[in-house]
Amino acid sequence: MLKDAWTVAIETLSWIEMQKLSERLALTRTVKQLNIGNADAIRYGYGLVCETVRRKNLIDSFINSVLKPKTLSELTLGVQAFLRLYVYQTRITTQWAKTDIEEAAGIAKLARAILGWGTLSEVEPFLGLLLTQKPELELRGASDEKRVAMKTFHPVWFVKYCFKLLGRREALAFLEGSMNPPPTYIRLNTLRASEEEILEELANENVKLEKSEPLKHAYKVTAIKHALTRTSSFQKGLFYIQDKASCYAAEAANPKPEMTVMDVCAAPGAKTTYIAQLMRNKGEIYSVDYSIRRIRTWQKETSRMGVEITEPILADARSNLPFKAEADIVILDPPCTSTGAFGKTPSAKWRLTQRSIERMSAIQWQIINNCAEKVKKGGVLAYSTCSITVEENEMIIERFLKWHPDFALEEINPQMGLPGFRGLTKCQRLYPHIHHCTGFFIAKLRKT
């Protein structure tokens, strides 16, 4: 099992590095490529990947200090991946304390079996040094921003951005809150059974929950013996694994039975399935997404959750939406930099630069502008992102209100977050360190 797990981890990290894939997508590609069916090995390997990627800046800096004058970038992707995993497992899991030499030797032996003796030979002399040196040397003389970046595992540019946006004290709390994944939340699916019946079945499967107030159907998972996706309740569509911030974004739009709703950028289906639930499967939902692969996932999820009122539409929302219908509610969760979700998808923070925010906000503006004409008079446009930047959030809404004076911000009920910036106090902001969820922004616009 251990060899399979390390094989999965090395190959998954290599895909992430080579093609800038997310952890999940890289894992899917790896499992398919290697044809590994051991679920325990896959789960263990994936855990190694996520925790290693989370600390990539510190790990890379430490390895490069040991390899001098060589650098990681001069090595093959497989060797790069192994060294990162090796440092994580032998040093970081012990908090840089005394090393287990026997474990380190066992890991090196696994790597030789996976990568080959010849491939690993050029870094063999450094494996002992990686076990004895400490990373503190890398922080001597470093700027305040770099020290914080290393200690909280974030890019320096993002640390500077957060200092400017939130102030140093609050930024530190946010960055520390983003170091680890948020709690796991599920949303009970009352299209399949009553909430009481679902809770009883989950209890029988040893899933312990805690109600997430003030949301209607969201619960925090406090204890579990097996992966949620392996429970019979999941297979029956009795719940959806969904962050509470995402649940809040759907509830903020307040969809009702018999309404017409457009879910723009709909895949993989969290919003669509919750909207249908809140509408009690009565009305119409048009779900728009640009990706065939994502639409296929959306189809699986809407089927599993028992949704009957949806129609998928394959279209790029940056262009004019290819239908004349108007909706009571248009829900838009556009592509974003995911700066509020670094705890959940750590690879995202290493793919971004300051310019990524500008490029993404340009896409968001195109999409929200196209959505405006699809809202009925008196209808609602609900906008949300899992980013904390003002360029993707308040500045988009400010610009939208100037271009579309027939829209006005509306209070969101219930109020669960903090007021938006730049005077947009009717918007809601959620943060990992305060609300124990993905960082999120939500705005509700009424067409007057």
Report d(CA 319, CA 370) in Å as an integer. 7
Q: What is the mean pLDDT of residues 303-330?
A: 92
Task: Output b/e per residue, 332-368; b: 16+ Cβ within 10 A.
Answer: bbbbbbbbbbbbbbbbbbbebeeebbeebbeebbebb
CA-wise closest residue to 91 among 131, 121, 118, 120: 131
pLDDT digits (tens, 9 = 90+) for 396-428: 999 999 999 999 999 999 999 999 999 999 999
Residue-level pLDDT at 210: 97
This prediction's pTM = 0.92
Q: What pLDDT score was predicted for residue 263?
A: 96
Strand stretches in 89-139, DSSP E: none
Of the candidates 191, 188, 157, the one whose C-alpha atom is nearest the C-alpha of residue 175 is: 157
pLDDT class of 138 with cuts at 50, 70, 90: low
Angle at the Cα of 190 (from 184 to 192), degrees rounded to 5? Answer: 105
pLDDT at 120 over 90: no
Helix ranges restricted to H, 231-269: 232-235, 244-253
Cβ atoms 131, 91 nearer than 8 A: yes
Supply the residues annotated as catalytic.
Answer: 386
The per-type count for the chain, helices as H runs and strands as E runs, is 20, 13
Of the candidates 306, 307, 269, the one whose C-alpha atom is nearest the C-alpha of residue 287 is 269
Per-residue confidence (pLDDT) for residue 36, from 0 to 100: 84
Which token pair is 157? 């540019």
Spell out the SS3 assignment of 189-227. CCCCCCHHHHHHHHHHCCCEEEECCCCCCEEEEEECCCC
Q: At what angle do helices 23-34 and 39-54 cross, to 10 degrees?
A: 140
CA distance 63 to 76: 14
* Cα(288)–Cα(315) distance, integer angstroms: 6
- Between 251 and 117, name the one with better pLDDT: 251
User: Mean pLDDT, the chain, as a whole number?
Assistant: 94
Segment 5-29 shows an average pLDDT of: 93
Residue type, 401: L
In whole angstroms, give the CA distance from residue 331 to residue 279.
Answer: 14
Cβ-Cβ contacts under 8 Å for 324 (sequence gap 6 or more): none
> What's the whole-number mean pLDDT along residues 95-118?
87
What's the pLDDT tens digit per position in 423-443? 999 999 999 999 999 999 999
Q: Please, which pLDDT band fits residue 16 given cuts at 50, 70 and 90?
A: very high
pLDDT at 39: 86
pLDDT at 226 over 90: no
Residues 7, 107 contacting (CB under 8 angstroms): no
Q: How large is the average pLDDT for residues 148-158?
A: 96
Residues 360 and 335: beta-carbon distance below 8 Å: yes
CA distance 252 to 440: 13
**What per-residue confidence (pLDDT) applies to 115?**
87
Q: Which domains, and CATH codes, for the chain?
A: 2-138 (1.10.940.10), 146-177 (no CATH), 185-241 (3.30.70.1170), 251-447 (3.40.50.150)
Check whether 141 has a pLDDT greater than 90.
no
As a whole number of Å, the end-to-end CA separation of the chain is 61
Task: Tell me what the mean pLDDT of segment 20-46 comes to.
Answer: 90
Secondary structure class of 286 (helix, strand, coil): strand
Average pLDDT over residues 257-274: 96
pLDDT > 70 fraction of the chain, expressed in percent and rounded: 99
**Is the model more confident about 263 or about 108?**
263
pLDDT value at residue 137: 60
